[in-house]
Amino acid sequence: MKNSYAKAILAFSLIALAPRANAQQDVGNLFVSGPEDATKLVNAYLDPLYKGFGQGLNDGWTNTAKSKGFLKFEVRVSTSAAFVPQSSRTYDVNTLGLSNIKPALGSSSIGPTAFGKDEDGGRMEVYTSDGIPTGRFFNLPRGIGFHAVPSPQIQATLGLPKNIDISLRAMPKINFGDDFGSMSMIGVGAKIELLPLILGETDRLIPVDIALAGGFTQYKYNLDLHIDNTSDKNQRIDARFNGVNFDAIVSKKIMFFTPFASIGYQTAKTNLKALGTYSFATSPVTSVSYVDPVSVKQTDIDGIRGSLGFQLKFGFFKFYGSYTQAKYSMVNAGLGFGIGE
């Protein structure tokens, strides 16, 4: 039971980064319906957030198969946007297998997901396990009104011997205030150019560059909670989002323009913990409480991806762009500066 309650709390806290007046009441109402129903609703609502952010963790590592020369370096800033398809912008509670929640008489069973429309979903009625109406109603939560999941990347790359370069992603802990929490990022990646390794540097029989690359990125997110409007129960969320990718890349430099294509494998996982003491009213005279719910772990992305993109170089500056097709389609754009190829 604690695990299911934790999932509901964690999920609704994450989607409430721009807090709404009725967010805490929505959580309480869902808990009245039982942990299993609450978990199913939360998972349906947050599904595009997990998938889109998971893909963004693995994006933007490189836009060319050419490795950097020894001790040559580059710093880049870019951002990805994973597009949530129409099919992932809504969900139907009638397909979730809920036990204690049904659409109220005359109401729709459809609700927006986190990246659906900024409007209330259908009005729900809560029933007991015996199928008796409790007299409790709530609306399925709103979406945020736009349909792309953003993910930023800040990265430095350094050339090593043997046609290898390594990349470091880092963002110091940034505090966005009491209502928004804090976030930090760390990641490491590597790329090895294959043709010089196989054929040597003297005779280029193949007029393209080919490389293998991989990367690991982790975002950490922390948010203090006041679910029941108290400030002395040490309520907080500790969350980690991990992404791993491996890619085969081919590119061709044409003066200042370098197009590339890649295909690879990626995975992304979410690990969240709720800490503190939580209480929710189940009726005017009764409530339920729990302390330090257990961790929630899930795999959000696990599959193949393919990308097409380019790099433009003008002196010390470079401009990047790419399109990726995977679970969701995604674009990446950014700029960088550095010394040497």
294 contacts 6 by C-beta, under 8 angstroms: yes
Q: What is the pLDDT of residue 114?
A: 84
The CA angle 130-133-139, to the nearest 5 degrees, is 125
What is each CA distance from 260 to 61, 112, 263, in whole angstroms?
A: 13, 37, 11
Q: What is the pLDDT of residue 44?
A: 85
The arithmetic mean of pLDDT across residues 101-118, rounded, is 91
* Domain 2-339 CATH assignment equals 2.40.128: yes
pLDDT band at 182 (very low <50, low <70, confident <90, very high): confident
Which has more confidence, 53 or 161? 161
224 contacts 178 by C-beta, under 8 angstroms: yes
Q: What is the pLDDT of residue 112?
A: 92
pLDDT band at 28 (very low <50, low <70, confident <90, very high): very low
Instruction: Evaluate if residue 50 carries a pLDDT over 90.
Output: no
Element holding 278 (H helix, E strand)? strand 277-281
The arithmetic mean of pLDDT across residues 127-137, rounded, is 80
280 contacts 293 by C-beta, under 8 angstroms: no
The arithmetic mean of pLDDT across residues 294-303, rounded, is 80
**Domain residue ranges of the chain, discontinuous segments joined by +:** 2-339
The arithmetic mean of pLDDT across residues 270-281, rounded, is 71
Instruction: Evaluate if residue 64 carries a pLDDT over 70.
Output: yes
List of residues 6+ apart from 5 with CB closer than 8 A = 31, 35, 38, 278, 288, 290, 293
HSE, CB side, 13 Å, CA atoms: give it for residue 27.
27
What are the structure tokens assigned to 218, written together?
């982790």
Q: What is the pLDDT of residue 45?
A: 84
The arithmetic mean of pLDDT across residues 244-258, rounded, is 95
| Mean per-residue pLDDT over the chain, rounded | 82
pLDDT band at 231 (very low <50, low <70, confident <90, very high): low
pTM above 0.75, yes or no: yes
Instruction: Evaluate if residue 2 carries a pLDDT over 50.
Output: no
How far is residue 338's CA from residue 251's CA, in Å, rounded to a whole number?
Answer: 19
Tell whether the torsion through CA atoms of 233, 16, 52 and 6 is positive or negative. positive
3-state SS, 203-218, equals CCCCCCEEEEEEEEEE
Per residue in 185-211, pLDDT (tens digit) is 899 999 999 988 887 765 567 789 999
Alpha helix stretches (DSSP H) within 73-131: none
Q: What is the pLDDT of residue 228?
A: 62
The arithmetic mean of pLDDT across residues 158-184, rounded, is 85
